[in-house]
Structure 1
């Protein structure tokens, strides 16, 4: 599963004036004049040019209020094409530090340091800013409640959500075309959106079959707009259950465009396929270099007797330094906790990606078909909806 995104040199030989070869005096005057204008010099009959590269501009820090004193932090530099490296543990940033790719949430006491760099220029000075929100652990610090009081279906907040689009199969041989809000690129139909906030106050991600063998759906993400690191992330979700359906709530590292998947790390909070079973289930997984596919770390949670996934459940992740834990409905009772290095001990070449200093962006999607669930069949009806009541993040 998967972009963020010379001055000419003058050469001199023999000097001429009005087409005539110049003598030493005239040649010297010409050379002195040129040197004064362009900053060139000469030595032993040869000349060269040199300029002192400008410093990259130090990053500016912009903050936006979240909840309970938490801040959403954005970094920028006026140096075009520069890369910003940053840390949030007070250490000096280097070229091995996290690369800034998107605004990130700060909900704990920490010191941010960042500098900008661009090839051919001197690195900027380090920008330092200390945050002391003094927020109690477990406090709600950010959420999207999908509120809609307009009386008509609305676009999910474009300041938070963007979309993956197209029908590339997304590495899993999926069958759907993912559609952005308002897209009229066939088979997408803006009059039947694949993702919207309904008048019921829920986010709807809708799988549809506009024609035989053609499927549409949505894959929403906060990439480039919002990201989190360390804390508790959860969503209250009602999943559809039918052959060939693959709903998911998950996160990927902001550094995906620099290190690619799976080195960026993947955290699968809610993921299941196909029709309901007895007992019904959800799977929580983590992936990184050396632990994907059959060597991945995944654990199945079974719902209590009488409960299925096609009902309201809260799916959550508790992310701490050195660990990722998952729960269903009860954050005090995770059903699995993955830790570094213990969980990787028997995985040759495995690299834990979740403490690199990089924040992760959030994804909600409803896939159709693919390697895991297989294709829809005659028992699968359309449309089907993944409903989300809210997405919330709590202070670490």
Structure 2
């Protein structure tokens, strides 16, 4: 074999190895909440979005409360978010929306949540991420990463998505994937997103279902180069969750989260 072909082969093998192992993640979490305590969520890790705020942009029906044990509680090794049918501050439902904003903000990494979603038409639970500083403007310009979404009228079908200015549901271009899990509402499953400078990939129980690639064309397609924070909530009704109405007998509705973990991107 002459030197040219030997060099070419060596380059090809090295290139393939680099591509297949381009990104690695730490084996232990850099940040986590194992929910192994009792009472309200850890204040050093979680804050709250509060109120109804004109339906949170989606015509949702709930009022998000703050530090109210009826709506959010840690116990028995899990975080429980509960949506309740009750008249409260002008809304017909209460719920909770936990946020790590200002307490735990991240750029790149592996993000895991082990969760069980509620059943019932009109429920819309989610574990997701929003930009901390909205560098490129309001939604969807600065991006959104959905690690887990579920709508009660389509039971046991879970979704992983991203939203950007170029790719979002309001213009019919949203990048999303879904998977049917026979016991998503009765058993815990692992939902995960790997976020790197060149791709965002989504997994359910370590099986990849979603792949979104950085096209290199700017923030309109890839605003994911700034810090994002966690959100955990149950919405009620809304443009998506309420497409087939709301079954009041489904409430109280509970989402349980065993843990959330973040693993650093190493290289």
Fold match (TM-score > 0.5): yes
**Cα distance, 1:273 vs structure 2:** 0.3
Q: Is 1:238 the counterpart of 2:106 in the alignment?
A: no
For residues 317 and 216 of structure 1, the distance between their equivalents in structure 2, rounded to whole angstroms, comes to: 29
Q: Is 1:299 the counterpart of 2:177 in the alignment?
A: yes
Structure 2 partner of 1:389:
258
Cα deviation digits, residues 287-327 of structure 1 (max 9, x gap):
11122212211111222xx4334310011100111100000
Picking from 191, 214, 219, the partner of 1:340 is 214
Q: Which has the higher contact order (CA 8 A, sep 6+)?
A: 2
1:279-290 matches, within 5 Å, as: 280-290=156-166
For residues 205 and 323 of structure 1, the distance between their equivalents in structure 2, rounded to whole angstroms, comes to: 31
Structure 1 partner of 2:102:
224
Structure 2 partner of 1:144:
33
1:321 is paired with a residue of what secondary structure? coil
**Cα distance, 1:155 vs structure 2:** 1.4
Structure 2 partner of 1:14:
none
For residues 183 and 41 of structure 2, the distance between their equivalents in structure 1, rounded to whole angstroms, comes to: 30
**Contact 2:131 2:143 (C-alpha < 8 Å) held by counterparts:** yes
**Cα distance, 1:266 vs structure 2:** 0.4
Structure 1 partner of 2:73:
196
Instruction: Kindly name which structure, 1 or 2, has the bigger radius of gyration based on alpha carbons.
Output: 1
1:341 is paired with a residue of what secondary structure? coil
- TM-score, structure 1 normalization: 0.56
Q: Is 1:376 the counterpart of 2:257 in the alignment?
A: no
**Contact 1:281 1:309 (C-alpha < 8 Å) held by counterparts:** no
**Cα distance, 1:166 vs structure 2:** 0.7
**Cα distance, 1:195 vs structure 2:** 1.0
1:308 is paired with a residue of what secondary structure? coil
Structure 2 partner of 1:271:
149
1:1-396 matches, within 5 Å, as: 137-148=26-37, 153-168=38-53, 169-181=55-67, 190=68, 192-198=69-75, 200-211=76-87, 214-256=92-134, 259-275=137-153, 277=155, 280-293=156-169, 294-303=172-181, 306-330=182-206, 333-341=207-215, 350-355=220-225, 358-374=226-242, 375-378=245-248, 380-396=249-265
**Contact 1:175 1:370 (C-alpha < 8 Å) held by counterparts:** yes
**Contact 2:31 2:262 (C-alpha < 8 Å) held by counterparts:** yes
Cα deviation digits, residues 248-295 of structure 1 (max 9, x gap):
000011122772222221000100101454xx3111111111222122
For residues 87 and 133 of structure 2, the distance between their equivalents in structure 1, rounded to whole angstroms, comes to: 38
**Contact 2:164 2:223 (C-alpha < 8 Å) held by counterparts:** yes
**5+ unaligned residues in a row in structure 1: which ranges?**
1-134, 182-189
For residues 57 and 135 of structure 2, the distance between their equivalents in structure 1, rounded to whole angstroms, comes to: 16
- TM-score, structure 2 normalization: 0.81
Structure 1 partner of 2:6:
none
Q: Assess, with a 3 A threshold, how the Cα gap between structure 1 residues 256 and 366 changes in structure 2: closer, same or farther.
A: same
**Contact 1:179 1:217 (C-alpha < 8 Å) held by counterparts:** yes
After the TM superposition, list the runs of 4 or more consecutive aligned residues in structure 1 that deviate by more than 4 angstroms.
none
